[in-house]
A and B are shown apart, each in its own frame.
Chain A
Amino acid sequence: MGEMTNVYPTTSPEPARSDAPLIEATNLTKVYKMGETEVHALRGVSLRVWKGEMISVIGQSGSGKSTLLAILGALDVPTSGSYKLDGREVASMNDNQLAEIRNQRIGFVFQKFNLLARNTALANVALPLAYGGVPPREAKRRAAEMLTLVGLGDRLDHLPNQLSGGQQQRVAIARALVNQPSIILADEPTGNLDSATGKEIMNLFRTLHRERGITLIIVTHDPNIAAQSERIIRLKDGLIEYAAEVQTA
């Protein structure tokens, strides 16, 4: 490791800030019905995230971290509890309102990139703009700008299968950024990449975070990734086991 990091639990897992949090989740639960049995994926998670934070959510598979991310990303609604994003209650929104929130406020980065295989990098990045009603010409301009920002200015017309894994993830990051969302949610963003490429992607995230003040929540099981964020939240069995600020020496 290049820099010396120390991770330990603190009793004050939230930064001391006086401004209103970007995300305010209170007592979130999520119950899935799998046939007869009920699966309690979240059992009461409360979480506040401020603008400009970079947070890691860690935990073993089945700990509820993906469910939490889905709810924070408005892909799913909690069974109970409250989720406020930018002061708006998301937990009680209907499908169309959720779609709008996803379109305008949230940028997703997935483990498997989830690019449309038949569309060029440019078209993939422009997709959220199209659904947001941005005119095609303007959408293309902004998509090209984002691709340039992630270092793919010369790959606009490439199809996903003409790009390396790292490049595909960069396209996905550009797509997540293009609508200037309040927050980027990344689900194991380096999980499908080799360690060198994974490092590049993390560097990109950190640069975006540092230079553009982008708020980031990264779900990962890799401690090295988690160590690069500012705050770590560890889930276990649907509850926050501990939350800690990362101390950088």
Chain B
Amino acid sequence: MNFFRNFGIALDALLANKLRSGLTMLGIIIGVGSVVALLSIGNGVQQSINGQITSIGTNLVTVVPGQVRITAGPPTNQGIRAPTQTKPLTDADANAIRERVPNLLGVAPELTSNNVTVAFQREKILVTARGVTADYNRVRNLEVAQGRWFDGADDERASRVAILGSDAADALFGGLNPIGQTVRIGSAPFTVIGVTVPVGAGFAGNPDTSVFVPLQTAYRTISNARTASGARRVSVIYISALSSDDIPRVEREVTQVMRQQHAIREGAEDDFTVLTQQQFLNIAGSITGILTLFLGAIAGISLLVGGIGIMNIMLVSVTERTKEIGLRKAVGAKKRTILMQFLVETVTLSLIGGTFGILLGVGIALLVGASGIIATTVTLESILLAVTFSLAVGLFFGIYPANRAASLQPIEAVRYE
């Protein structure tokens, strides 16, 4: 009795009771389908979060004031802690980094002012005003959809020019062309010279609902922002390394420069934090990893239920076919032949169910992806996992009924009515 013959006998037996086989398979179909679908949703979420993190800038190193600890360790000390000790970042810090850390794509300090009123004629909106330098758009990957970004000269002269985020522009101007129009930021008039391409909310605020002005202009018109010692404060400094391989060096050198700037003694703790995208990616990865695992586990439960369904039906089938098993034994079937026959039957059931389940899961994933609610990514791993799992379920839940069938005494089986 080779495998194909066993497979044929199994298929025969399954086809003989199509409705029951179908319903039994349904458990596996739903189980495998949900594993594939939920894992693809988990993977999709992971990828879209990673995408958001990388979209805040290319090879970005970020300096923020105070001690911020980000770890991806066990849940107890995971996440972001409140600053322990604060000394504000300054314009001078940004300049020091620019001068003393070589080979950077750009250094872009930002002075962030929340809830700033921007008005055009009768329209008024509240936005986040960001006072930034000329290379900010390069560092933060911001592209201009209309008009232009400002240049170094605009910053030096403290020109009253503004670049609107796409949502801000829509809110103020509707269908009108904003370029060249005058808006009031706070009380000061600005000329709109550009509108950014929409990017959506990311980890460092939403550029679409922001207004960008030159840093020097911001100091004069929006926020004076002087520290106790009279230096010009900035909220955050973005630094872009030339390549991702260079990030560790940049992180190290920026830390050195900042420690000198802030006159921190040897052995004392930093009063600022240098963050890299990798840290964000690690945290996001560990969170979405847990999410994916969780979704997979839920789906796994339904696969387990499907497996129990198979066992149940196979036990019924063994009882129902007692006479058949007895006859097979009477004409010479050995214990292991009967065992194989029933095992092949459950495995066939679970593998066919698994195949349909994969189709269902991929279908759901594509549907969810197409609906635009959540991005989904079907990975080969999740399909292999589902197939392996359904095979294992078939074997595990098939062994008991198969063994029961194989252990039937031929004499009892033949006499069974």
The interface of chain A, by Cβ under 8 A from chain B, is 70, 73, 75-76, 95-96, 99-100, 102-104, 108, 110, 114, 116, 118-119, 127-128, 130-133, 136, 175, 179
A70 touches B332 (CB 8 A): no
Q: Which of B324, B332, B410, B411 has the most CB of A within 10 A?
A: B332
Measured between beta carbons, the chain B residues less than 8 angstroms from A95 are 334-335
Set of chain A residues within 8 Å of B324, measured between Cβ atoms: 116
Does B327 touch A at the CB level, under 8 Å? yes
Contact between A75 and B331 (Cβ–Cβ < 8 Å)? no
Decide if B329 touches A99 in the complex (CB within 8 Å). yes
Q: A100-B332, A127-B331 are in contact. List 16 more A-B contacts (CB 8 A).
A: A70-B411, A73-B330, A75-B414, A76-B410, A99-B329, A99-B333, A99-B335, A100-B334, A102-B410, A103-B331, A108-B330, A114-B414, A116-B327, A128-B331, A131-B333, A131-B337
A104 to B333, CA, bound (A): 11
Which residues between 333 and 372 of chain B lie within 8 Å of chain A, taking CB atoms?
333-335, 337
Q: With the chains together, A217 CA to B24 CA distance in Å?
A: 45
Q: Nearest Cβ distance between residue A125 and chain B, in whole angstroms?
A: 10
Task: Find B331's partner among A102, A133, A136 (CB 8 Å cutoff).
Answer: A102
User: A144 CA to B407 CA in the complex, in Å?
Assistant: 32
Whether B332 pairs with A99 at a CB distance below 8 angstroms is: yes
CA of A70 to CA of B414, assembled, Å = 10
A75 partner residues in chain B, CB cutoff 8 A: 329-330, 410-411, 414
Chain A hits for B151, CB < 8 A: none
In the assembly, what is the distance between CA of A131 and CA of B414, in Å? 17
Contacting pair A96 B334 (CB below 8 A): yes
Query: Which chain B positions have C-beta within 8 A of A114?
Result: 323, 326-327, 330, 414
Contact yes or no, B330 A102, CB < 8 A: yes
Closest 6 CB pairs of A and B: A103-B332, A131-B332, A128-B331, A75-B411, A76-B411, A99-B334
Once the chains bind, are B414 and A130 in contact (CB under 8 Å)?
A: no
| Interface mask (B1-45 → A, CB under 8 Å = 1, otherwise 0) | 100010000001100100000000000000000000000000000
| Residues on A with beta carbons closer than 8 Å to the beta carbon of B332 | 99-100, 102-104, 128, 131-132, 179
Which residues on A sit within 8 Å (CB–CB) of B414?
A: 75, 110, 114
Query: Could you pull out 30 A-B pairs where Cβ atoms are within 8 angstroms?
Result: A70-B411, A73-B330, A75-B330, A75-B410, A75-B414, A76-B411, A95-B334, A95-B335, A96-B334, A99-B332, A99-B335, A102-B329, A102-B330, A102-B332, A103-B331, A104-B332, A108-B331, A114-B327, A114-B330, A114-B414, A119-B12, A127-B331, A130-B1, A131-B1, A131-B328, A131-B333, A131-B337, A132-B332, A136-B5, A175-B331
Is the Cβ of A130 less than 8 Å from the Cβ of B5?
Answer: yes
Most buried by B among A108, A114, A119: A114
A107 to chain B, nearest CB (A): 9
List B contacts of A175 (CB < 8 A). 331
> B409 interface residue, CB < 8 Å from A?
yes
CB neighbours (8 Å) of B328 from chain A are 127, 131
| A136 to B, closest residue via Cβ | B5
Q: Give the complex CA separation of A114 and B331 in angstroms.
A: 11
Alpha-carbon separation in the docked complex, A119 to B16 (Å): 10
Give A208 to B246 CA distance when docked, in angstroms.
Answer: 94
Give the distance to chain A from B413, nearest Cβ to Cβ, in Å.
9
Among B13, B324, B411: residue with most chain A CB under 10 A: B411
CA of A112 to CA of B169 in the docked complex: distance in angstroms?
Answer: 88
**B residues near A102, Cβ cutoff 8 Å:** 329-332, 410
A70 to B329, CA, bound (A): 13
How far apart sit A72 and B87, CA to CA, in the bound complex (Å)? 99
Please give the distance in Å from B342's CB to the nearest CB on chain A.
Answer: 15
Q: Please, how many angstroms separate the alpha-carbon atoms of A108 and B326 in the complex?
A: 12
Collect the chain B residues with CB atoms within 8 Å of residue A131's CB: 1, 328, 331-334, 337
Most buried by B among A73, A99, A102, A108: A99
Residue of B nearest to A103 (CB): B332
For B334, the chain A residues whose CB sits under 8 A away are 95-96, 99-100, 131
Residues of A within 8 A of B329 (CB): 75, 99, 102
Q: Chain A's nearest CB lies how many Å from the CB of B108?
A: 77
B371–chain A nearest beta-carbon distance, Å = 45
B306-337 contact mask (Cβ, 8 Å, vs A): 1 or 0:
00000000000000000110111111111101
A36 CB to closest chain B CB, in angstroms?
20
Residue contact B335 to A96, C-beta cutoff 8 Å = yes
- The residues of A that contact B326 with a CB separation of less than 8 Å are 114
In the complex, which residues of chain A have a beta carbon less than 8 angstroms from the beta carbon of B323?
114
Bound CA span A104–B328, Å = 14
Q: Which residue in chain B gives the minimum CB-CB distance to A131?
A: B332
CB distance from A234 to the nearest CB of B (A): 22
Q: CB-CB < 8 A to A119: which residues of B?
A: 12
